[in-house]
Amino acid sequence: MNSRLFTIITHSLFATAVIASFVWLAYANAVPSGAVTYVQDFEQGTPFVSDFWPPERFDPVVKIGEYAVRPVVESPVSFFIHPPRTFVTSTIQIVYKLKDTALFEIAVETGPEPEDYKIYQWQSLESLPGDWWRGTIVVPMNDWWRDENNRYHAQMHVSDLLENHNILWVKEMRVKLEGRPHGWREWWNAFQ
């Protein structure tokens, strides 16, 4: 009788731990704090910020110093953000270096057609050691088109990249998403 009670208690504790883990993961997926940051560093990677596409427009990752860097040789290249739910704003920071000076802009796709995009120029451009730059833009999420897989697509445009044999080295893409779910419906959708 004593071992049967012990087995029941052990199974009950295990089941409670499993259920609590799933509840915690669902709650964390809803990002209740209202802000989350995802980083694509081309070494660790993240499922929330993709690598570039199409593959013929960039070279394999190389090491520059201690960092993994993605060389982009043709423009534009696309990437997408796949957040767990909808947010109000996104702050995109890209740490990059250009072989030669060129105009570098970010475009967010506003519809399903290739010509549906809106170009953003850097709102902040910060010089970093080693000739690196950190460009920052803030984009309202309602400006972006969200595809059937709940991904937001963007493009990086660099003027005359291929024609001038220029290279864009990207060290890091950091995307900060902000905005709490409002109302029960948004909370419910965040858990799905």
Domain boundaries, the chain: 1-30, 36-179
Residue 110 reports pLDDT greater than 80: yes
pLDDT (0 to 100) of residue 188: 65
pLDDT (0 to 100) of residue 171: 97
Torsion on CA atoms 132, 138, 142, 147, rounded to nearest 10: 10
Coil, helix or strand at residue 41: coil
Q: With the C-alpha atoms ordered 54, 57, 62, 65, is the resulting torsion angle positive or negative?
A: negative
Determine the length of the chain: 192
Coil, helix or strand at residue 129: helix
Model-level pTM?
A: 0.80
Q: What is the C-alpha separation between 157 and 134, in angstroms, rounded?
A: 16
Closest listed residue to residue 93, CA positions, set 85, 103, 81: 81
Q: Find out if CATH 2.60.120.260 is the number for domain 36-179.
A: yes
Which tens digit of pLDDT belongs to each residue from 78-97?
A: 999 999 888 999 999 999 99
Which tens digit of pLDDT belongs to each residue from 146-188?
A: 999 989 999 999 999 989 999 999 999 999 999 877 666 665 6
* Tokens standing for residue 190: 């965040």
Which tens digit of pLDDT belongs to each residue from 30-49?
A: 567 789 999 999 998 889 99
Residue with more model confidence, 192 or 116: 116
pLDDT (0 to 100) of residue 151: 94
pLDDT (0 to 100) of residue 189: 62
Residue 58 reports pLDDT greater than 70: yes
Residue with more model confidence, 107 or 84: 107
Contact 96, 133 (CB under 8 A): yes
Q: What is the C-alpha separation between 48 and 37, in angstroms, rounded?
A: 10
User: Which long-range contacts does 2-6 make (Cβ < 8 Å, 24+ apart)?
Assistant: none
pLDDT (0 to 100) of residue 186: 63
pLDDT (0 to 100) of residue 119: 95
φ, ψ for residue 173 (rounded to 5)?
-120, 125
* Tokens standing for residue 149: 């897989």
- Please report which confidence band the pLDDT of residue 2 belongs to, taking 50, 70 and 90 as the band edges: confident
Output the average pLDDT for the chain: 88
Judging by DSSP bridges, how do beta strands 67-72 and 117-120 pair with one another?
A: unpaired
Contact 79, 154 (CB under 8 A): yes
pLDDT (0 to 100) of residue 145: 92
pLDDT (0 to 100) of residue 11: 82
pLDDT (0 to 100) of residue 15: 80
